[in-house]
Amino acid sequence: MIRLFIFIISFSSFIFSSNLSFEDIPIQEEGRVKPLDTFAKNQLLRIYGKRTLSDSDVSSTDWLFGVLAGDPKVLSIPVFYILNPEVIYALELDMTDGRKYTFKQISKAIELKIEMLEKIDEKSEDVRTLVEQQLLQIYFNAIHFKMLQSDFTCLTPIIPITNDIIAERLGVKNGENVSFFKFARNLDKMRDFIVSVEQDPVSWSSADSSFFKNIQILQSLSTSSLSSNMLKIVPPVDSHHGGEWMSPWEIVSFGKLKTSYYNDLLISLEDYIDSRYKGNQSGMSKSIISYETTLYDMSSEVPSLSNLKRETWYNQANLFTSSIVFYIISFILVCFSLLFSPNILRKLSFLSVLIGLGYHFYGIILRMVIMGRPPVSTIYESIIFVGFISVLLALILEYFRKDGLGTLTAALSGIIFQYVSFGYASDGDTLGVLVAVLNSNFWLATHVTTITIGYGTSIVAGLMGHIYIFYLILFPKNRKKLLSIYNNTFGVTILALFFTLFGTILGGIWADQSWGRFWGWDPKENGALLICMWQIFMIHLRLTGIVKGLGFAVGMVINNIIVIMAWFGVNLLSIGLHSYGFVSGIAINLIIFSSIELIIGLGGYWVGKIRQSR
């Protein structure tokens, strides 16, 4: 396994070692430096609700460039998705088939309804209706879009040059457009014009008039873009180690161009934008290579190129989506194999879930390499990791048993956890900055990983309890098979207890080091303790003969409820020292899940008893 891990890392480093591209340009967002591709997908997710445009072949990075550069084709793409018809009526927009609107359409609607929106904004969040909250979200997204649109205006060639003398001094042809940055850095060559425009306009020459119009455009751009600081793509030079990254407008506005590195970096980026405008591929390649050289010369805080490209590839590969596809295929095949018993279907289902696990595993490994930490530091990461552990454990069970039970459990685990993870992935950047309380790779690799493995193993035991109940209802006379499922469920439960108990003890040691006490009856600690107590209770009932197969299976179904409540439910309390795990908006989902599990457990027990008695 270690050799495989080393091979994967070495192979991926080889793949991702080519030159920098526009989508790989590093940018600082929410405290983390990431490739521009991740930033672009985050912006689309906020405004559009998805990381990619479903109705267009424009990539997320090309969309971002089009917005930054004011490309009419990109700006005509409807990216404001309004699901609620009441919001559409409130903004007096026309109802479209896809309920998607362009920034221009949204801007006009907001302009007409600005007084209504400002009154809603003044209300307390607690008293706003759902429609009012959604209206504000559209309003703030429009402001966000407008600010994003202004971030590149200092580097985009939008200032028309209409005089031969000015064109000559700027080194361009008359009739061409130049950027704010190019015009500003050549002002020293136009001191005579600066003096002339301070005189009476009657005495101005045609060149003076053209220069004055250009200056008005410069002032207008500068005024409208003062707050344009979202695109933080300029790192601090090494002499200012640890400083904040800056946007192009911050560099231009704060007089940082005296630093040659800043000047060279913006010139390279300006040349890239100009070449892209003209469709000059060789110019784009030359400027991006120059950008890369300057970038890595000026700052040691820039992530390695291979890591930037690795994250870009990870974003575009959709490894977890591929894994769930193979899990679904495996589930279908294994169901048919259990019903009709053809051996070939069982083998194909095992192969399919193994491929899905491969995608799953590679996705987790890439996340570990990109972030440099164990993959269990957020709710999202814990879900995909628990899913991986559940599938892996079930496949190990299948390897020894070869009866389809492990494959069925693996496929179900993979489908359920990947589906749940997609919901959390839609909340924002899944590769977020580690919170301070978790800033210890040792304890992440021991306590958090161990307790998370305990969650995964417990869920597998719960799923096997479900399988026992359904198998008993369908095939009550197959006692040999039922006994086999029962014994395996018991074995997995013991394994789950080991990891959960060991992880809880490690958590107490970490708590003693971090907070000065081993145990404080924190909700998260109580949740872990409840899992251990319930599993010990069920094991004791089984060993003493108080419960048989069906009773133990129902106990494992209830075990799922306890695990989910300890994992997610206690976070709703928003109290305790485990504040990094707080979530919101899942209470209804937890109630629905618990109700379904109770119906399956209690209902299955009743029906199972009837089937056994016949």
- Tell me what pLDDT residue 575 has: 57
The pLDDT score that the predictor gives to residue 20 is 87
CB 181 within 8 A of CB 137: no
C-alpha angle 395-322-1 in degrees, rounded to nearest 5: 45
> Which is nearest to 68 in space by CA: 292, 228, 202?
228
| AA letter at 352 | S
Using one digit for the tens of pLDDT, what is the confidence trace for 491-505?
999 999 999 998 888
**Closest to 559 measured CA to CA, from 539, 579, 583:** 539
Average pLDDT over the chain reads: 85
Residue 236: strand, helix, or coil = coil
pLDDT at 457: 92
Per-residue pLDDT, averaged over 317-336, amounts to 93
Average pLDDT for 433-446: 59
Locate the domains of the chain by residue range.
318-431, 435-614
Amino acid letter at 136?
Answer: L
Average pLDDT over residues 525-537: 89
Does the structure show a pLDDT above 80 at 317?
yes
Q: Which residues contact 441 (CB under 8 A, 6 or more apart)?
A: 372, 373, 374
pLDDT, tens digit, for every residue of 7-41?
Answer: 454 455 545 557 889 999 999 988 889 999 999 99
Rounded Cα distance, 174 and 165, in Å:
9
pLDDT band at 612 (very low <50, low <70, confident <90, very high): confident
Burial 72-104 (b: 16+ CB within 10 A, else e): eebbebbbbbbeeeebbebbebeeeeebbbebe
Question: What pLDDT is recorded for position 287?
Answer: 92
What is the per-residue pLDDT for 16? 53
Q: Best-predicted range by mean pLDDT among 88-92, 96-100, 255-259, 509-513?
A: 88-92
- Asked whether 261 and 235 are in contact (CB, 8 A), the reply is no
pLDDT at 438 over 60: no
Q: Is pLDDT above 60 for 582?
A: no
Q: How far is CA 540 from CA 226, 441, 449, in A?
A: 68, 36, 27
The yes-or-no verdict on residue 436 having pLDDT over 80 is: no
> What is the value of pTM for the model shown?
0.83
Which tokens belong to 308?
């930037």
Instruction: Answer positive or negative: Cα dihedral of 239, 245, 248, 254.
Output: negative
- The stretch 116-131 carries a mean pLDDT of 88
Per residue in 73-82, pLDDT (tens digit) is 999 999 999 9
Q: Would residue 513 be called left, alpha or beta, if left means φ above 0 and alpha means ψ between -120 and 50 degrees?
A: alpha
Q: Is the dihedral of CA 517, 506, 378, 495 positive or negative?
A: negative
134 φ/ψ sector (left φ>0, alpha ψ -120 to 50, else beta): alpha
Is pLDDT above 90 for 517? no
- What pLDDT was estimated at residue 573? 62
Residue 589: per-residue pLDDT? 81
Whether the predicted pLDDT of 107 surpasses 90: yes
CB atoms within 10 A of CB 476: 16
According to DSSP, residue 579 is labeled: G
Sequence-distant contacts of 83-86: CB under 8 A, at least 24 apart = 84/130, 84/131, 84/134, 86/131
Reported as a pLDDT band with limits 50, 70 and 90, residue 5 is very low
pLDDT at 106: 94
Confidence of residue 583 (pLDDT cuts 50, 70, 90): low
Whether residue 458 has pLDDT greater than 70? yes
Supply the pLDDT for residue 1. Answer: 46
**Any idea of the CA torsion for 409, 410, 415, 419, to the nearest 10 degrees?**
100
Lowest mean pLDDT among 35-44, 113-122, 181-190: 181-190
Mean pLDDT for the stretch of residues 345-367: 94
Mean pLDDT (whole number) for 277-297: 89
pLDDT at 2: 45
Q: What share of the chain is helix, strand, coil (3-state, %, to 5)?
A: 70, 5, 25
Sign of the dihedral through C-alpha 30, 36, 38, 42: positive
Percent of the chain whose pLDDT exceeds 90: 36
* Per-residue burial over 477-514, b = 16 or more CB atoms within 10 Å of its CB, e = otherwise: eeeeebeebbebbbebbebbbebbbbbbbbbbebbeee
Quote the pLDDT of residue 192.
87
